[in-house]
Structure 1
Amino acid sequence: MPGAARPTAELPAPLRVPFDDLFWRDEYDPIVETDAELAAIVERADLPALLAALAAALGDPSILEPGLRPPLTLVDTFGHPHGGMTSAQVERGREVALAALVRLRDSGIRSVGILPREQVDAILDFLTNGRAEYWPSLKHELGLAPDKNGAPDFVYADLAGSREFRTLVIGAGVSGIAAGYRLMQAGAPFTIIDEAPALGGTWWKNRYPGVRLDTPTFGYSYSFAQKTDWPHQFAEGGEIHDYLAEVADRAGITERIEFGTRFDSARWDEDASEWVVVLSGPQGTEERRFDAVISALGQLDRPHIPDFPGLETFAGRAVHSQDWDETVDVEGKRVVVIGTGASAYQIVPAVYEQVDHLTVFQRSAPWMIPADNYHERMTDTFDWLQRTVPHYGQWFRLWTLLLGIPGRFHTVTAEEGWSGVPLSVSAKNHEVRESLIARMAEQYRDRPDLLELAIPNYPPGAKRMLRDNGVWAKALQAPQTTVVSTGVGRITAEGVVDGAGVLHEADVIVFATGFKASDFLDGTDVVGRGGVELHDYWAGDSRAYNGITVPRFPNFFLIYGPNVNGVVAGSGHLMIERAAEYAVSAIGELLRRGARSLEVTEDALDRFVSWVDAGNRRMAWGQEYISNWYQNAAGRVVTIWPYTNVEYWAATESIAEEDYTFD
């Protein structure tokens, strides 16, 4: 296309990071505590992670006695300390850990390198209670393993020769940084663009009051950037943004990002086997050519505000949670929050004590999983361990990820012929429902009217479950709070009129109404082989092989695409990294073959979608009587992954030749 130019840049040298971890620490603080002080530390420590770290530091897996293996008891509602170890196991485990900690101190061991494979396998065998199928995906996360398996297995210059192959990465959030890191390790030329003025993606955009993770912090970090000195057990939004910025700076990614640059469209030039990309940036609109495009725009990127009648007439301030404006002042104001999902669950407790009056519009009540430590800092014990026991933080992170592999799948799997529908999907699901209702009954013991509103009318797990440490119930019961369950009728200059015709006056309206999660790449045009536009190809039903590649769109990769989002198990970070690694592996495969393009087949996509659909139909969120944001307009679940991280690791382990055509 006339005017379209190939970007030129100096070929980067492959990024070399010791142990594939930007936060790797060579030496730890010396242990100077007495035996009695160490015993007190062990008393408060998480035993499986500590025992694993000590075995690795001492190079002695024999301390991991078979009788101490954590049983990995499945979690229904409340977590099981030490992975469900019995009291006898805990007592003996503390004896072993103390003796090992004393050995570590007396030996003066302050650093550990890569372990022999047999030692890694022995420690993983202990932690997983013999579940060898978990090991490959766990080794992806373990810098001490000689076969850690995330980095690219090629160097661009070795394969490309005189060929020039350039990649565009769209988005500088969690996914874009992951893609950039792996491309830098390969020494492959690439450009990252982001329409925002700063990196961070959702963690730059979401700055509303109370924003924080709703997954444990240690499950929300990169395998290649294992920060261990996190201040909170569920990190605040600013902490995550700072982490992403530090990762990008340490890796040299920040300088490769073009900020304020929007991706408008892309067209596959079949003659040249290149993507002609239209970008809007500080210098206006321009066309550039790239050999591959990686979309790292994610799922929760485009805010959704329902078309409420009269919205444009409101005289106060109106803001969506993702587009929070720091000039919005809620102090002493009448505030209406529309929605009771994840963002509302954080905003409401954060502002209710500041406002004159708070009105919460609830369409459907959320189920909440107990998490009494939701707002707590990491403990002093943890801080000491991550500073003094070599790589304890990494082992604790691995233990967190391991516990998340089975997650709560067993609580949300539907039982055929179950009589409790539509309020539960199985006997276990019903048991969880009753347990959560009992917890709410205690929280609302003085407000039976609110308890009635707080109990969801759908099965646990059918929609995103939130973290409960009591602050939501406390905020709803505050004298200045009103909960409305009759829906939004219309919006006027004075406030919001509910479905019963009652006006709720407002100075500020907060739309906690979610995102267009099923509308991938909304607002862009991507035209593939044969002139087919991506959204026309999807026809409202977003589909991608492994959530990454789409037939007729060669050399185009999605990270966190359709059906790649875990809600009751696993680590989203691992899935993001695997998708980025898959895309980089595909680029390596093109270079090895001397091919210009690769394209997934329709048969491969159909097979993958059938498998995913079958999995989702077994889950609470996939029942035909359920409506949630996981579904598209036709009712098909298009955002959720119904299997474990182990299955996703296996699915993305290699570029299966039979699933692609190469040109």
Structure 2
Amino acid sequence: MTHVEHVIVGAGFAGLCAAIKLQEDGEREFLVVEKGSTVGGTWRDNTYPGACCDVPSQLYSYSFASHDWSKSYSPQPEIQDYIERVAQRSGTLDRFAFDTTMEHAAWDADAQRWEVRISGPEGERTVTSTTLIVGAGGLSEPKLPEIDGLDTFQGELFHSARWDHGVDLAGKRVAVIGTGASAIQIIPEVQQVLASTGGHLDVYQRSAPWVIPRNDRTYKGAEATALQRFPALRKVYRTGIYWAHEGYVPAFTMVPKLALPAQKAAEANIALGIKDPALRAKVTPQFAIGCKRILRSNTYYPALAADNTELVTDRIAKVTGNAIVTADGVERPVDVIVVATGFHTTELPITEHITGTAGHTLADAWRTTGMAAYKGTTVPGFPNLFMIVGPNTGQGHTSMVFIIEAQVAYIRDAVRTLRRTGYAAVEPNPAAFRKWNADLQRRMKRTVWNTGGCSSWYLDDQGRNTVLWPKATFTFRRQLASFDLDAYDVRKSA
């Protein structure tokens, strides 16, 4: 049985960051387990037409690996290329196991280590490790809607995160279910293809999102040259963008009226893109701006207003072999269904495969307590388990890379603490865990995400927001700046 000091699950922004920073600390004995064939995670998997980041490029990158971005908002291929370049330069790829899944991880209380069963090209094997670092992320497992008859559809059907590039949309009747962040990027691209080939697009909307203009531009001329030659200028851009985005936080968490300028911009975006009053009414949200993620697009509303597009707001009753039937009884024939209904965010599938000290899985624990962690990173009953992008670390306004780096810094200090003290394992004590999460939920009650009048993927079945962080991101970074051993129960070496 092979032993490594650290098993890292996932090779997206989170897992790669953990590998690079652990190596910087001299922690070279690690294994990164990745189910895909290369690094990238979300940005490797989401290859749908129009895939692009809605956070500016300068901020949506590692602070320690700046890049010569081509645009202010980078398209998916450029982000994926960036991640691959960073990985190649890091000198860590020799410890990555691609096309490999973590089947199960269980804490061995006697040996005080994790036993991790993995399956890949070499077959199934078990690896033991001192720590288990989970960087699988909340946007990794696509979620299909529960629609009667969906499995009986005889045409082409796929999730936006698993785009089937072998399907020719030309001249087809296409349905897109959902109007979230991915859908508003897909819809304009598909609409253009169908408009030029005699096809038709149906967009099924459950609730209208707030969409503000996307102030995107290509870096060129003197600006492009300066950004390329002077990395310090990139840092200036990054800092300015960071603080501009942090300006949204008070509007989301304390004073909703501060979001009025963003709402006015969104309303102007509707007026510019759609002339028909009835369609404008359909796309105007009925909840406070910020309650769901604010989206960015200049082309979404014109695509909805196009002659070959119909926006359907009636509930989908069922899917037949060749049509979608809405609650009003209307049956719309369809050749291709694109499901853009998001991901499993409040019930992470990977938690079904992690067993702690009590013999139950993390999923079992969270079915009792709700999805929760101490500082979004550690959980009682699961020694030396560290999560990146765990509960209540998500962002509705800025880059998750900032949060990832903060959590990795915390994990690095935890590993240093284990080395310095000689302890075999640490886990947050229940009192610290309860206090942290009680404070989070108390603060969450007054945020727009809980009071804004919407139903979102931020909320679990109990109405608890277990996804987002309800304060400024610099506060999160400060609170994870060093590992607080006094909040942990320790296990001494045998």
TM-score by length of 1: 0.71
- Deviation by residue 1:509-550 (Cα, 9 ceiling, x = unmatched): 000011111112446321111323211111161101111000
Letter paired with 2:451 = Q
Among residues 232, 239, 254, which one is paired with 2:78 in the alignment?
A: 239
Cα distance per residue 1:208-250 (max 9 Å; x no partner): 01000011111100011111x1111110001110000000000
Tell me, yes or no, if structure 1 residue 437 matches structure 2 residue 437.
no
The residue that corresponds to 2:52 in the other structure is 212
Give me the whole-angstrom Cα distance separating, in 2, the residues matched to 1:236 and 1:435.
Answer: 23
Structure 2 Cα separation of the partners of residues 198 and 388 of structure 1 = 30
Report the counterpart of residue 285 of structure 1 in structure 2. Answer: 124
Q: Distance in 1 between matches of 2:231 and 2:208?
A: 45
- Cα separation, partners in 2 of 1:327 and 1:505, compared to 1, 3 Å: same
User: Any gaps of 5 or more consecutive residues in structure 2?
Assistant: none
Aligned equivalent of 1:366: 209
Contact 1:314 1:492 in 2 (8 A): yes
Larger Rg, first or second structure (1 or 2): 1
User: Residues 46-85 of structure 1 correspond to what in structure 2 (within 5 A)?
Assistant: none
What one-letter code is carried by the residue in structure 2 that aligns with 1:462? C
1:491 aligns with 2:487: no
Q: CA deviation at 1:610?
A: 1.8
- Find out whether 1:378 has 2:226 as its counterpart: no
Pair 1:447 & 2:447 matched: no
Root-mean-square deviation (CA, aligned residues, Å) is 1.7
Partners of 1:513 and 1:394 in 2: how far apart? Answer: 35
Aligned to 2:321, the other structure's residue is in SS state: coil
Aligned counterpart, 1:199: 39
Decide which of 414, 422, 446 is 1:618's aligned counterpart: 446
1:662 aligns with 2:490: yes
Among candidates 429, 437, 441, match of residue 601 of structure 1: 429
Distance in 1 (CA, whole Å) between partners of 2:272 and 2:77 is: 33
Q: Is the 2:53–2:73 Cα contact (8 Å) retained in structure 1?
A: yes
User: How big is each residue's C-alpha offset from its partner over 1:44-77, in whole Å with a ceiling of 9 and x where there is no partner?
Assistant: xxxxxxxxxxxxxxxxxxxxxxxxxxxxxxxxxx
State how 1:5-20 maps to structure 2 within 5 Å. Answer: 5-7=1-3
How far the C-alpha of 1:432 sits from its partner, in A, is 4.6
TM-score, normalized by length of structure 2? 0.94
Match for residue 171 of structure 2 among 332, 335, 340: 332
Matches within 5 A, 1:144-163: none
Higher relative contact order (CA closer than 8 Å, sequence separation 6+): 2
Deviation per CA, 1:113-172: give whole Å up to 9, x if none: xxxxxxxxxxxxxxxxxxxxxxxxxxxxxxxxxxxxxxxxxxxxxxxxxxxx61000001
Alignment match of 1:554 (pick from 383, 394, 399):
383
Gap regions ≥5 residues in structure 1: 8-164, 416-425
For residues 355-377 of structure 1, give each alpha carbon's deviation from its aligned partner in whole angstroms, at most 9, with x where no partner exists.
Answer: 1000000000010123232xx31
- Counterpart-to-counterpart distance in 1, 2:156 and 2:429: 49
1:639 aligned partner: 467
Aligned equivalent of 1:395: 236
> After superposition, what is the alpha-carbon deviation per residue over 1:256-286, rounded to whole angstroms, capped at 9, x for unaligned?
2101111121111111101111112123322
Output aligned runs, 1:67-466, within 5 Å.
166-188=5-27, 189-227=29-67, 229-355=68-194, 356-373=199-216, 376-389=217-230, 391-404=232-245, 406-413=246-253, 426-429=256-259, 432-434=262-264, 436-444=266-274, 446-466=275-295
- Contact 1:263/1:524 (8 A) holds in 2: no
Could you say what secondary structure the match of 1:391 adopts? helix
* 1:557-594 Cα shifts (integer Å, max 9, x gaps): 000000001112x4311110111221122111101111
Q: Tell me, in whole angstroms, the C-alpha distance in 2 between the residues paired with 1:295 and 1:387.
A: 35
**Cα gap change, 1:431/1:239 in structure 2, threshold over 3 Å: closer, same or farther?**
closer
The answer as to whether partners of 2:173 and 2:335 remain within 8 angstroms in 1 is yes
Please give the residue correspondences for 1:525-540 in structure 2 after superposition, counting only pairs within 5 Å.
525-539=353-367
Alignment correspondent of 1:66: none
Alignment of 1:458-537 (within 5 A): 458-469=287-298, 471-522=299-350, 524-537=352-365
**Larger % of strand: which?**
2
Q: Determine if contact 1:169/1:295 at 8 Å carries over to the other structure.
A: yes
Q: How many Å apart are 1:434 and its aligned residue?
A: 4.8
Pairs aligned (count): 485
Secondary structure at 1:539 match in 2:
helix
Question: Residues 523 and 606 of structure 1: is their aligned pair in 2 closer, same or farther, counting only changes over 3 Å?
Answer: closer
State the one-letter code of the partner of 2:395.
Answer: G
Note closer, same or farther for the CA distance 1:345–1:185 as it changes in structure 2 (3 Å cut).
same
Q: CA deviation at 1:448?
A: 0.8
Is 526-535 or 213-222 further displaced after alignment?
Answer: 526-535
1:447: Cα distance to partner?
0.8
C-alpha contact (below 8 Å) 1:302/1:522 kept by paired residues: no
One of 584, 588, 595 as aligned partner of 2:416:
588
8 Å contact kept, 1:169–1:190:
yes
Contact 1:411-1:432 at 8 Å conserved across structures: no
User: Any idea what SS the aligned residue of 1:318 has?
Assistant: strand
1:458-491 superposed Cα distances (whole Å, 9 cap, x missing partner): 110000110132x111100110000100021111
* Counterpart Cα distance in 1 of 2:443 and 2:36: 36
